[in-house]
């Protein structure tokens, strides 16, 4: 676990991820909620040999055996964005569904910057128009993907802790998008909106896009009332083969399911590229990357006005991607503390994603 690293100083704090089929049913996270203890036993032979006490922060998710593996973690603590993990996207990056957006995405430090232990995506108003920031992960993930130990991902937990700006025409987004359009153009290959916060931020929208290519697409979504602009909130999704569950600040908000789970109202793809061989979990059976951006204007939020504050900043404290391997037992949720509401039938997409 710690091979090749220098010895820890006395009373040091370390974050340890417990993996393997025969471990204690605890999952280690960097921000625990319900459990903490100090281990001074055989956590690792080199630590025992050094007679160190390692403070381990852990969270008990249930009494059943569950193991969480960190696939990707970003705390934005460095002086600049890690280009080995992230791509800064540039240009207008618009399609018909984004008609009316006014920003041009830029890699300029005034639009994408690290400060105060956070990533800041900043919308600026200039003489030539609006500029802003957008990043996407170089990694991509999906339920069923192979893991280094030979197991497969049973459940993914993806979250971002972020603060959206308030103001008319501002559109903050945290989405998962297909690494390749396996089933055809948007949204036949799917999209997962983990958080969409617009305008005065009186609600947060979460949902999934699927079906035929635009404009024949479908959406299942939910709006949660609340002042989600101006303060830090944690938006998350838990993604299994046949379910996608949305969370805000640790509370389960809504669950959407595949045709396998609900033949009458589950997600599907009817893109021409799907073919007869597509799985019943399509289009959410392929790798998706995560993206964060701050847009200006668009058919959904409308245009900014004289009251809109510029510069406006979407601040992101951290991003996490965790997985439960297929050998882990227990219910299909990493945070089963709240009952999950049932979904409604698919509707035509009236609110496109950023």
Whether 318 contacts 74, CB under 8 Å = yes
Report how far apart, in Å, the C-alpha atoms of 335 and of each of 87, 97, 124, 176, 331 are: 30, 34, 38, 20, 10
Distance CA(91)–CA(109), nearest Å, equals 15
From the list 292, 284, 267, 28, the residue with the least C-alpha distance to 159 is 292
How far is the C-alpha of 165 from the C-alpha of 201, rounded, in Å?
A: 8
pLDDT number for residue 200? 72
Provide the edge-to-edge strand list for the sheet that holds 288-296: 86-88, 134-137, 288-296, 170-178, 191-198, 203-211, 217-225, 347-348
How many CB atoms neighbour CB 2 within 10 A?
Answer: 16
* Strand boundaries in 275-349, DSSP class E: 288-296, 312-325, 347-348
Per-residue model confidence (pLDDT) at position 99: 67
Which ranges of the chain have pLDDT less than 50? 1-8, 10-65, 329-353
Q: Are 201 and 137 in contact (CB under 8 A)?
A: no
Residue 2: the pLDDT is: 36
Q: What is the pLDDT of residue 276?
A: 57
What global pTM score does this model have? 0.77
Task: Give me the pLDDT at residue 125, please.
Answer: 97
Q: Do residues 73 and 318 make contact, with C-beta atoms less than 8 angstroms apart?
A: yes
pLDDT for residue 227: 87
pLDDT at residue 202, as a whole number:
86
């Amino acid at each position: 676990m710690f091979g090749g690293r220098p010895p820890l100083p006395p009373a040091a704090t370390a974050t340890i991820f417990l993996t393997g089929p025969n471990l204690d049913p605890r999952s280690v996270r960097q921000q625990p909620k319900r459990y903490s203890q100090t281990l001074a036993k055989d956590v690792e032979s080199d630590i025992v040999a050094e007679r160190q006490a390692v403070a381990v922060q852990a969270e008990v998710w249930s009494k059943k055996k569950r193991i969480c593996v960190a696939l990707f973690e970003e705390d934005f603590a460095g002086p600049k964005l890690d280009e080995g993990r992230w791509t800064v996207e540039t240009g207008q990056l618009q399609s018909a569904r984004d008609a009316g957006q006014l920003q041009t995405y830029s890699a300029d430090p005034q639009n994408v910057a690290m400060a105060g232990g956070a990533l800041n995506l900043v919308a600026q108003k200039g003489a030539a128009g609006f500029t802003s920031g957008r990043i996407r992960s170089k990694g991509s993930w999906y339920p069923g993907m192979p893991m280094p130990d030979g197991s497969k991902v049973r459940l993914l937990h993806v979250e971002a802790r972020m603060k959206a700006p308030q103001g008319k025409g501002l559109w903050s987004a945290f989405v998962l998008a297909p690494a390749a359009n396996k089933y055809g153009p948007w949204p036949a290959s799917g999209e997962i909106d983990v958080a969409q916060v617009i305008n005065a931020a009186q609600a947060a929208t979460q949902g999934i896009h699927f079906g035929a290519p635009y404009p024949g697409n479908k959406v299942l979504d939910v709006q949660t009332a609340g002042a989600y602009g101006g303060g830090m909130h944690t938006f998350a999704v838990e993604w299994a083969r046949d379910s996608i569950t949305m969370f805000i600040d640790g509370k389960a908000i809504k669950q959407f399911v595949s045709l396998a789970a609900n033949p009458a109202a589950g997600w599907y793809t009817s893109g021409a590229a799907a073919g007869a061989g597509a799985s019943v979990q399509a289009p959410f059976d392929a790798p998706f990357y995560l993206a964060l951006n701050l847009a200006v204007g668009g058919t959904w939020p409308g245009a900014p006005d004289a009251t809109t504050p510029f510069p406006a900043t979407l601040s992101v404290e951290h991003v996490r991607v965790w997985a439960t391997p297929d050998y882990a037992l227990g219910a299909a949720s990493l945070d089963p503390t709240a009952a999950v509401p049932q979904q409604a039938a698919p509707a035509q997409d009236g609110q496109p994603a950023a």
